[in-house]
Amino acid sequence: MSSYAAHIATVQARFDAALAATNFDSVLVYAGQPRVAFLDDNPAPFKVNPLFKYWLPVTASPKSAIFYERGQKPVLFLFQARDFWHAPVTIEPAEWQEHVELVVIDDLSKLTAQLGSKLQDAAFIGEDFAEPVASWNLKARNPQDLIDHLHFHRALKTEWELENLRVANERAAYAHLAARDAFLAGKSELEIHHAYLAAIHFRESELPYNSIVGLNEHGAILHYDVYETQAPAESRSFLIDAGATYRGYCADITRTYARNEGFFADLVTAVDDAQQTLLKEIKPGVDYYQLHVSQHLKIAQILSDFGFVEGSAESIYEQGFSSAFFPHGLGHFIGLQVHDVGGFLRNDRGDTYDRDPRHPFLRLLRPVEEGQVFTIEPGLYVVDQLLEAHADAKELNWERIAELRPYGGVRIEDSIVVGADGNNENLTRDAFAKLQA
């Protein structure tokens, strides 16, 4: 059996279980359609419903839908507009077509006519802001229990999903090297961003998220995506958090570079080492929350070693100082979405883990299991807004912190596939290694 055949069999089995558990016999998964800007007729880039692309690598066919009845072959209503304004979407022959009954439609009335009374017995999953979808008579719209069930099990990736994630990482790693070279050549943030896109022949809307391309102080702005058009007089440091997609699956990679040897280059190496040490602690049964705390202690040790904060790693962590320098979560599930869903789900009935107010931005609280894929992305930055709370703390060495401020900060981010007994796969480092081979 091919990996795709095994994947769609798994998806089908997961839908069977989810539908049975939530008392539905069928589901209509709508791909969605682009929204237009207010008082305008310009569409935003189309982002397909993730639960649609879970079934099929069809990401650019708005108004399509998958109708699935438990135990039956899924039916794909593939929307192909009869439209002389736009280029038709070409669907190349591919293996997935053997696994669905394909019905090409040019109007959604053809879907409702074919489904007839079956529509009112189906659960609907998708966006329904536009007609005629908004007025369809359905059994339920986006039932939370059905979605929770699907989201819980999506955390374990199939081999086909891993293949796609590997390619997404290879694409992103290749573009990262082009961006690094543009930084070393003294280019502006916008030029670096363009070098990234050009390297992999991507348009911006194909990226899984807005790339973070920050020179110097901008590295400390966690979601910096402003892109200065002029290069600074001196490019001291470069933080890039940028991904790529392949068949709807996402890569999410961060690297930080120093222009010169010295204190900041040493800090990048220290954070990189701390991240790699943490990677060795990942194994089934460990709580992701514990990994987050463990990474905090390693960042706290760096804060101490580099003289930013005085004290032991434990006291730096316990007093909340490490949270001022490393304010975000250790990482998140990744797959069909950059921030893949289900990180707080305790089970497939929708119960959730309580979030710890001490770590409000941590998106993943589940125990680590073989087959999960998540990012590990520690950081260390000078975020003045967060340091204000510690303005009077005698443990903080403000002169030393002032030395770091012009460099922004460091983040290193890889995506990890959890294997048995800590035998994990690092999608990101493997992708870089393949390029250097």
Q: Residue 286 CB, nearest distance to ligand GLY (Å)? A: 21
Name the residue type at position 275.
Answer: Q
377 binds ligand GLY (CB under 6 A): yes
Q: Residues 358 to 377: which contact Mn ion by CB under 5 A?
A: 375
69 binds ligand GLY (CB under 6 A): no
Q: What would the x/- binding string for Mn ion be over residues 243 to 282, using CB under 5 A?
A: ---------x-x----------------------------
Is 191 flagged in the annotation as binding? no
Is 40 flagged in the annotation as binding? no
Beta carbons within 10 angstroms of residue 325's beta carbon: 27
Residue 363 site contact among ligand GLY, Mn ion, none (CB < 5 to 8 Å, cut-off depends on kind): none
Task: Say how far apart CA 11 and CA 56 lie, in whole Å.
Answer: 10
Is 121 flagged in the annotation as binding? no
Q: Which of 241, 340, 348, 414 binds ligand GLY (CB under 6 A)?
A: 241
Is 399 flagged in the annotation as binding? no
Beta carbons within 10 angstroms of residue 314's beta carbon: 11
241 binds Mn ion (CB under 5 A): yes
Site size for ligand GLY (CB under 6 A): 7
Residue 257 phi/psi, 5-degree rounding, is -130, 145
Residue nearest to Mn ion (CB): 241
Q: Residues 199 to 238: which contact ligand GLY by CB under 6 A?
A: 209
Q: Which residues 6+ apart lie within 8 Å of 144 measured at CB? A: 350
Residue 209 site contact among ligand GLY, Mn ion, none (CB < 5 to 8 Å, cut-off depends on kind): ligand GLY
Q: Residue 377 CB, nearest distance to ligand GLY (Å)? A: 6
Of residues 318, 319, 335, 330, the one with CA closest to residue 393 = 319
Residue nearest to ligand GLY (CB): 241
Q: Kindly tell me the burial class for residue 262, based on how many C-beta atoms sit within 10 Å of its own C-beta (0-12, 13-18, 19 or more).
A: exposed
Q: What would the x/- binding string for Mn ion be over residues 407 to 426, using CB under 5 A?
A: ------x-------------
Q: Residue 209 CB, nearest distance to Mn ion (Å)? A: 7
Q: Residues 252 to 271: which contact ligand GLY by CB under 6 A?
A: 252
3-state DSSP call for residue 304? helix
Return the number of the residue (48 or 330) whose C-beta is nearest ligand GLY.
330
Return the number of the residue (191 or 252) whose C-beta is nearest Mn ion.
252
Site size for Mn ion (CB under 5 A): 5
Please, which contacts does 147-152 make with residues 24 or more away whose CB atoms are closer than 8 Å?
147/51, 148/345, 148/348, 148/349, 148/350, 149/17, 149/18, 149/21, 149/22, 149/348, 149/349, 149/350, 150/14, 150/15, 150/18, 150/51, 151/341, 151/342, 151/345, 152/342, 152/345, 152/347, 152/348, 152/350
Return the number of the residue (161 or 413) whose C-beta is nearest Mn ion.
413
Quickly tell me which residue has 């990677």 as its tokens: 279
Cis peptide before 132 (omega within 30 of 0): yes
Helix (H) or strand (E) holding 104: strand 101-105
Is 266 flagged in the annotation as binding? no
359 binds ligand GLY (CB under 6 A): no
Q: Using alpha carbons only, what angle is made at residue 316 by residues 311 and 317, rounded to the nearest 5 degrees?
A: 150
191 binds ligand GLY (CB under 6 A): no
- Pairing between β-strand 212-215 and β-strand 237-242 as defined by DSSP bridges: antiparallel
Q: Are the CB atoms for 89 and 50 separated by under 8 Å?
A: no
- Residues contributing to the annotated binding site for Mn(2+): 241, 252, 332, 377, 413
Residues forming contacts to ligand GLY in the complex (CB under 6 A) are 209, 241, 252, 332, 338, 377, 413
- Residues contributing to the annotated binding site: 241, 252, 332, 377, 413
Residues forming contacts to Mn ion in the complex (CB under 5 A) are 241, 252, 254, 375, 413
